[in-house]
Each structure stands twice: as C-alpha cells, then as structure tokens.
C-alpha cells in the first residue's frame, strides 16, 4: 500500500513517527493509502530547512521571485489533468470540480506575479528640514498554513503563493484526508525554480498543528477549518507571539425576493447548495424566499431538480456531485438530516437511502431538501457540510434580512432580485463578509480579498488580494537625515514638524 510522507528540503521524505492515518477512496470506502503523521522533530526539521533557505530567497529581487510563479502557473496548466485526477481520487469531487479547485488557486499565483508592484511602499521627500521618510515591507520570515480537506489545491495556494512571493519560507500542514495534491504542488514549485527548503509540506494531526503554533521561528499562521478549531488556533498562535488569520464555519443564506427570476434563482441554488456535495465553506445551505407565493414557487421548482441530481464517482463524467469525503462525514450529515425530521422540518426530498450499484460501501448520500425550517432548529444553526438545503420562509424583506444578520456565522450571503434599491440596501446593511447580488457563491477574485465576519473569521487581514501582502509582510518606517545643516547640541523636546 502507498505510504505518503512529507516534503522537506526540496524532496519527498518518509515519515519516522510510526503513526499513520488512512486515506480512503470516498467512492468505495476502501483504504487506498496511508499518510505519515509528523512528530515535533519532523516539524522542526522542516522549520530548519525553511530557516536556512529564507534569507537568500528574501534577498532575491521581487521580479525574479515573480518569475518562479510565472513558471509555476505554466506547470499547473500543463499538469491540470494529472492534478485533477489525483485530487478527485482522494476527495471524491468530480473532475471538473477539481479543475475549478486548482484554477482558483492558480489565479492567486497569477496575482502574485505582480509582487514587484504589490510589495512597493511609500516615500516622502522633505518630510522635515533635510528629512526624508519612507516605509518598506519586509517578510515575516517563516509562515505556516493549516488547510482543510475540501479544497486541497486552492487553499494551500491561497496561503503559500502570497507568503512565498513576499520573500517568506513556508510550512504547509494539509489535511491528512487528501494529502497527495499538496505534495505534488510543492514538487512543481521546485521545478518552477523555487529554491529547496522555501516550501515544505508536513503531514500530521493535532500534534503537528500544536508544534506549528508553538515553534518560536514561525512568525505567521493561516488556518481554514471549523470555528472551534479556528478559535483555538488563533488564540494559541497569538499567545505564542504569532500573527494569525483563521477562517471558520459558515451558514450561507440566499434571499429570494418576489421579483426574482425564479428559474435563475433555482438553478443558482442547485449549483451553490449541492455542488461538491455541499462540502464548501461558501455553499448556500439556507434559501430564504420572501412571501408564501415565492416560497411555493421555489419549492415547486427545486423538488424535481433535487430528485434528478446525478450522483456518482468522479470517474462518471455526467455526475453532478460525488460522495462525501469519509464515512464519518456521511454519518454526521445523515444524523443531522435525521435531527431535522425529529425537529419538525418538512423533508421534501429525502436522499438518506441513496445507494449506487457497485459502490454500496461508498460515502454517497442523495440530495436532501427541507421546507418549513425555523431558526431554532439544529439544521439551521449548524453547518451541515453536505448536500442539504434548508428553506426558511420569510414574510417580508426585513424578516429575511434579519436571518443572516442574527446568525453567528458571517461568511457569505446572496440576494436574488431585479430591484436595485433592495439589492443596494441589502449589500449596505448586511453584516456578512462576502455578498452576492444575483451571484450565488460570491467568492472574490484573486485581486480582492476573501474573508468572513463574526464567528467565520478571526484576525484583521483576509486571504489573497492586497490583504495577503500586508499579512505576510511587516512594515518598517525609516526617518532619514544627513549631517549637512544639523545644529550642534542635544535636543530634549519631542520632535515635531513645527
């Protein structure tokens, strides 16, 4: 059986801990590989490699750093099919969905090719008599990223691309559920011209996470996962003197106004709610139709669409969605659907008994559609992370607006309407980090920043966009005066420009 180790110092290395986690085939439930779980010593070895490589990398001029990413983007396009198949085999999502995963990461790599401009700072000539003042942005040193299973290509690239482009070295701790793609990305970065040791991949569990959070040479940490762990990572990193950006759970709502194009809204909900089997932090999991007539029309549209979802392994080119990543994930989603029925929600489409011939042991669950869900129910409060859409009926616009406003999560939200006034009011008032107007999954493009509000995000700076350059660098401000014209004698008053 294949054993997956780590990537340290520019090459693959075997794990030495003797501890492994199983990597499953989500379509069959079979173990297809084992991934090594790192010790503190293995993490420390990665840090030492990063520490040795980082000064020379940071000293390289930004245009040459940018060229590494030019080469890397070309390699990603060249190896797209290979990477997508590798990703789908371990995650379970369809090939086309996997390619989307890779491309959204590739776009951030394209963005950081602009690092010669992005890392520029400010200069003021004559800030005072004979005084010039300027600022520079210098790398943090060594950064680390802790990434989730649901986007094993995109989120690692969202983290390591800006960090490395800014002159940092980087330690990546990917999910142990689908570890192959991150290691392959590191190999391609070396092929693109990245010096050995600048990017290291250390597989592991909580032990590796804690080793990252407490290591004194790691200056910044980026995390994506559940809210309880995001809180833990943020607090532990801060208490150990590290800057941190931590992104947690989500419960994304879509408001459907009475004037919305119902076909457009229903299609948007299908893709945003059931794509990737709902295993997306930007999935729409709550539909809020405004008015009974709107709600009835929406349910009428959605019901046959959910019933006709094509579910299959990633090798089925016609599949709309694949299995959930593990049996534990399947049991959790099925249990929450059971709980919704117990709480009194109307299960309009029940996908719990879905079975696929030849894949009876796979983690497949059919699309589920709930109606008459209320805010006090667990299925409304909890991030389900499966192909489950809950319809919460609202009497009017203000009631619909209040639902995402009051929810603990604030990652993404959308409104479907033809009314520009309503859309503008919604975008202005909503306390959510990413807003879509007739856009179901409002994930910003690479040159804008990604991040939620409330319990969905911890830290002041978001992922990618200019926020990522600020996060992975520290500002140093220099005030400069040369001897000519400086009067003799000490000055004891606070310097001013008076």
Q: Distance between CA 252 and CA 404 in Å, rounded?
A: 8
Question: Are 379 and 466 in a shared domain?
Answer: no
Question: Are 73 and 57 in a shared domain?
Answer: yes
With respect to residue 324, please indicate whether it lies within any of the assigned structural domains: yes
b/e 167-199 (16+ beta carbons within 10 angstroms → b): bbbbbbbbbbbbbbbbbbbbbbbbebebbebbb
CATH number at residue 24: 3.40.605.10
pLDDT of residue 484: 66
Start-to-end Cα distance in the chain: 74
Tell the residue number behind the tokens 């604030």, with chain if given. 410
pLDDT of residue 492: 78
With respect to residue 387, please indicate whether it lies within any of the assigned structural domains: yes
Looking at every residue in the chain, the average pLDDT score rounds to: 96
pLDDT in tens, 430-485: 999 999 999 999 999 999 999 999 999 999 999 999 999 999 999 999 999 987 65
With respect to residue 445, please indicate whether it lies within any of the assigned structural domains: no
Q: Is 281 a catalytic residue?
A: yes
Measured between alpha carbons, how far is residue 3 from residues 37, 38, 91, 408 in Å? 11, 13, 17, 40
pLDDT of residue 486: 58
Question: Are 82 and 67 in a shared domain?
Answer: yes
pLDDT of residue 463: 96
Measured between alpha carbons, how far is residue 213 from residues 37, 141, 171 in Å? 16, 15, 12
With respect to residue 443, please indicate whether it lies within any of the assigned structural domains: no
Question: Are 150 and 283 in a shared domain?
Answer: no
In whole angstroms, how large is the CA radius of gyration of the chain? 25
Question: Are 315 and 345 in a shared domain?
Answer: yes
Question: Are 221 and 206 in a shared domain?
Answer: yes
Question: Are 211 and 129 in a shared domain?
Answer: yes
With respect to residue 138, please indicate whether it lies within any of the assigned structural domains: yes
With respect to residue 489, please indicate whether it lies within any of the assigned structural domains: no
Closest C-alpha to 247, from 272, 222, 210: 222
3-state secondary structure string across the chain: CEEECEEECCEEECCCCCCEEEEECCCCCCEEEEEECCCHHHHHHHHHHHHHHHHHHHHCCHHHHHHHHHHHHHHHHHCHHHHHHHHHHHHCCCHHHHHHHHHHHHHHHHHHCCHHHHCCCCEEEEEECCEEEEEEEEECCEEEEECCCCCCCHHHHHHHHHHHHCCCEEEEECCCCCCHHHHHHHHHHHHCCCCCCCEEECCCCHHHHHHHHHCCCCCEEEEECCHHHHHHHHHHHHHCCCEEEEECCCCEEEEECCCCCHHHHHHHHHHHHHHHHHCCCCCEEEEEEECHHHHHHHHHHHHHHHHCCCECCCCCCCCCECCCCCHHHHHHHHHHHHHHHHHCCEEEECCCCCCCCCCCCCCCCCCEEEECCCCCCHHHHCCCCCCEEEECCECCHHHHHHHHHHCCEECEEEEECCCHHHHHHHHHHCCCCEEEECCCCCCCCCCCCECCEECCEECCCCECHHHHHHHCEEEEEEEEECCCCCCCCCCCCCCCCC
CATH number at residue 352: 3.40.309.10
Question: Are 189 and 330 in a shared domain?
Answer: no
With respect to residue 490, please indicate whether it lies within any of the assigned structural domains: no
Q: Which domain holds residue 328?
A: 252-437
Question: Are 210 and 262 in a shared domain?
Answer: no
Question: Are 167 and 308 in a shared domain?
Answer: no
Question: Are 324 and 352 in a shared domain?
Answer: yes
Per-residue pLDDT of the chain (498 residues; tens, 9 = 90+): 899 999 999 999 999 999 999 999 999 999 999 999 999 999 999 999 999 999 999 999 999 999 999 999 999 999 999 999 999 999 999 999 999 999 999 999 999 999 999 999 999 999 988 899 999 999 999 999 999 999 999 999 999 999 999 999 999 999 999 999 999 999 999 999 999 999 999 999 999 999 999 999 999 999 999 999 999 999 999 999 999 999 999 999 999 999 999 999 999 999 999 999 999 999 999 999 999 999 999 999 999 999 999 999 999 999 999 999 999 999 999 999 999 999 999 999 999 999 999 999 999 999 999 999 999 999 999 999 999 999 999 999 999 999 999 999 999 999 999 999 999 999 999 999 999 999 999 999 999 999 999 999 999 999 999 999 999 999 999 999 987 655 667 777 877 766
Report how many domains make up the chain.
Answer: 2
> Would you state the structure tokens that stand for residue 86, as one six-digit string?
């590798």
With respect to residue 487, please indicate whether it lies within any of the assigned structural domains: no
pTM of the model: 0.96
Sign of CA dihedral 411, 236, 226, 141: positive
Please pick, among 109, 166, 246, 281, the residue that the annotation labels catalytic.
281
Question: Are 98 and 183 in a shared domain?
Answer: yes
pLDDT of residue 282: 95
Residues in the chain: 498
pLDDT of residue 464: 96
């Amino acid at each position: 059986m294949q054993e997956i180790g780590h990537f340290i110092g520019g090459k693959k290395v075997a794990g030495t801990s003797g501890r492994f986690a199983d990597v499953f085939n989500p379509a069959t439930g079979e173990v297809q590989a084992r991934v090594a779980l790192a010790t503190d010593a293995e993490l420390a070895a990665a840090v030492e490699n990063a520490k040795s490589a980082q000064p020379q990398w940071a000293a390289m001029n930004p245009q040459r750093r940018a060229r590494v990413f030019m080469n890397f983007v070309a390699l990603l396009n060249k190896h797209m099919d290979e990477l997508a198949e590798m990703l789908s085999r371990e995650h379970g999502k369809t090939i086309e969905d996997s390619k989307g995963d890779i491309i959204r990461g590739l776009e951030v790599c394209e963005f950081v090719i602009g690092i010669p401009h992005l890392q520029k700072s400010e200069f003021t000539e004559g800030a005072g008599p004979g005084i010039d003042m300027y600022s520079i942005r210098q790398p943090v040193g060594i950064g680390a990223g802790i990434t989730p299973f649901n986007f094993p290509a995109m989120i690692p690239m969202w983290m390591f691309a800006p960090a490395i482009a800014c002159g940092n070295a980087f330690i990546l701790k990917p999910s142990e559920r689908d570890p192959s793609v991150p290691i392959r990305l590191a190999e391609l970065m070396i092929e693109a011209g990245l010096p050995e040791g600048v990017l290291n991949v250390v597989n592991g569990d909580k032990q590796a996470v804690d080793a990252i959070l407490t290591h004194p040479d790691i200056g910044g940490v980026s995390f994506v996962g559940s809210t309880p762990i995001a809180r833990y990572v943020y607090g532990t990193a801060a208490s150990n003197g590290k800057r941190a950006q931590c992104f947690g759970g989500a419960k994304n709502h879509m408001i459907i106004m009475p004037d919305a194009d119902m076909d457009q809204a229903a299609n948007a909900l299908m893709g945003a709610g059931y794509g990737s089997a709902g295993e997306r932090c930007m999935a729409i999991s709550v539909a809020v139709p405004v008015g009974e007539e709107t709600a009835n029309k929406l349910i009428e549209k959605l019901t046959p669409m959910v019933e006709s979802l094509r579910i299959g392994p990633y090798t089925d080119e016609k599949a709309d969605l694949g299995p959930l990543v593990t049996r534990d994930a399947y049991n959790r989603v099925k249990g929450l659907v059971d709980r919704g029925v117990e709480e009194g929600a109307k299960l309009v489409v029940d996908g719990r008994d879905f079975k696929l011939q030849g894949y009876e042991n796979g983690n497949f669950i059919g699309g589920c559609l709930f109606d008459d869900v209320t805010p006090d129910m667990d299925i409304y409060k909890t991030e389900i992370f499966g192909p489950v859409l809950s319809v919460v009926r609202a009497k009017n616009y203000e009631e619909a607006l209040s639902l995402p406003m009051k929810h603990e999560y604030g990652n993404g939200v959308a409104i479907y309407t033809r009314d520009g006034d309503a859309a503008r009011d919604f975008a202005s008032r909503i306390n959510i980090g990413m807003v879509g107007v007739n856009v179901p999954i409002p994930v910003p493009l690479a040159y804008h920043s990604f991040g939620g509000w409330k319990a969905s995000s911890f830290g002041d700076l978001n992922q990618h966009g200019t926020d990522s350059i600020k996060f992975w660098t520290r500002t140093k401000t220099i005030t400069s005066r040369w001897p000519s014209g400086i009067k003799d004698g000490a000055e004891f008053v606070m310097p001013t420009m008076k």
